[in-house]
Amino acid sequence: MDKLVIEGGLPLKGEVRISGSKNACLPIMSACLLTDDKCMIDNIPQLKDVLTMSEILSFLGVDMELGERAIVRKSGSYENFTAPYDIVSTMRASICVLGPLLAKKKKAKVSFPGGCVIGPRPIDLHIKGLRALGAEIKIEGGYIVARAKKLQGANIYLGGHFGSSVLATANVMMAATLARGESVIHCAACEPEIADLAKFLIKMGAKIEGYSTPIIKIKGVRSLHGARHRIMPDRIETGTYMIASCITGGSLHLKGAESSHLMAVIDVLRQANCLILKTERGLLVKRAKRDLSPVSVSTLPYPGFPTDMQAQIMSLMCVANGISVVTEKIFPERFIHISELNRMGSQIFLEGPSAVISGVAKLSGARVMASDLRASAALVLAGLVARGKTEVHRIYHLDRGYECIEEKLSKVGARIKRIKDD
Ligand code: EPZ
């Protein structure tokens, strides 16, 4: 296993290229199951999770060619309809092959995705939505076993206890593209990644209206054809580097960043005294004044503040001038990073669903353990500003969702290197 060794204290300056979005790329790759034609997807990020998804598609019999920044789904039909435990268990997002398999092959067998450190990851909404389209679904031997002679359009409410579900919306929307008649998804996820998926499906011949709103209408068609699509920029990677600039008191230009996907994050960072300017090619981010101001923020479904930015904003608030409150309303257990940040001298305590952060003048470097993708990013951010050396262990979590993070940070002045861990 590798670790990252960071010497903190240097302001980051320069330009970072934002990669394609992991959370748009994964469902879009799954959508290639809806056709036997060739598809070409550009601007894919070089990430472990993308590799995992291509392994699942290859296992299903879809011939995938992974290039530098593109992936090609070669034309040809596929016979397999089982996504196996040993691959699905490494990536929860594998669940988004369920809808396309059911629509295209009329059956699917997908290993039940486990929970993870951010909490239980139920799939009741996925099952509810696909059953509403006429699928017979049962859980057998740790697998979701689904079949449907012909999916039938339906009116579906997909809201859960925590609001909308991104991948349940993706699964049901993809399945509905080949159902008979019209489907309407109520309380659909409005995330930009769902919009990107819808745009790809429309290029394939799907009839979809209302994406980016809570009501998505899909008119089923007989078949979908191949298409070419360029993945949107990764808004969570963008938000992470915005905070890297603010926490180190630097100035970063984020090339390819799309500000309209990040209004909630921009609003909170401006409250914290950060300067964010839209440029022709992206976003310029720097701290406006010497001190960072504390903020109070709750995570919400899009367009609210993203849960995937909760750990990162917490790192920033560790060195703000005052008391901040960060409330997690999507994944209530998503606070594993608190104990590791406190090992670096932060003062955070948990009060129910809220973390209360008393800003400190300085964090100190320490050996810390990465636990999940975004918590790991938060530890790297803290290491960039901490006095002395920080070692972030188990960074395979990071490699799932951040492309070449140490190269991108080194290029703008960070003292960071990847070392083989003993
Ligand atoms: C997607 O996960 C993202 N992953 C997550 O990003 C992100 O945190 C999450 O959306 C929320 O924005 C990908 O897109 C690959 P949800 P997803 O279904 O779709 C509950 C990252 O770091 N729920 O929108 O699995 C669920 O427990 C990852 O990149 C049900 O109750 O999340 C949660 O409380 C982490 N029943 C809430 O809904 C269900 O059937 C939102 O989850 C499904 C979800």
pLDDT in tens, 358-374: 999 999 999 999 888 99
pLDDT in tens, 279-323: 999 999 999 888 999 999 999 999 999 999 999 999 999 999 999
| Rg of the chain, C-alpha, whole Å | 21
Catalytic choice (116, 187, 274, 404): 116
Instruction: Tell me the pTM.
Output: 0.98
As a whole number of angstroms, the distance between CA 94 and CA 47 comes to: 15
Answer whether residue 114 shows pLDDT above 80.
no
| Per-residue tokens: 130 | 């696909």
- Does 353 score more than 80 pLDDT? yes
Please give the pLDDT value at position 300: 98
pLDDT exceeds cutoff 80 at 422 = no
Task: Spell out a b/e string for 193-228, using b for 16 or more CB atoms within 10 Å of the CB, else e.
Answer: bbbbbbbbbbbbbbebeebeebebbbebeeebebbe
Q: Determine the average pLDDT of the residues in 204-220.
A: 98
pLDDT for 311 equals 98
Per-residue pLDDT for 115 more than 70? no
Ligand 1 centre from 168 Cα, in Å?
A: 8
Amino acid at 251: S
* Dist. CA 189–CA 27, nearest whole Å: 14
* pLDDT tens digits along 231-282: 999 999 999 999 999 999 999 999 999 999 999 999 999 999 999 999 999 9
Res 121: pLDDT: 85
Residue type, 163: G
Q: Catalogue all structural domains in the chain, each as residue range(s) with its CATH number.
A: 2-15+234-420 (3.65.10.10), 23-230 (3.65.10.10)
pLDDT at 113: 83
What is the residue with the minimal CA distance to atom 35 of ligand 1?
Answer: 308
What Cα–Cα distance (Å) separates residue 101 from each residue in 52, 127, 317, 347, 349?
A: 17, 14, 44, 48, 44
Least trusted range by pLDDT, from 36-45, 116-125, 244-253, 317-326: 116-125
Ligand 1 pocket check for 330: Cβ under 6 Å: yes
Residue 111 contacts residue 85 (beta carbons within 8 Å): yes
Active site residue 116: yes
pLDDT bucket at 409, cuts 50 / 70 / 90: very high
373 lines ligand 1 (CB under 6 A): yes
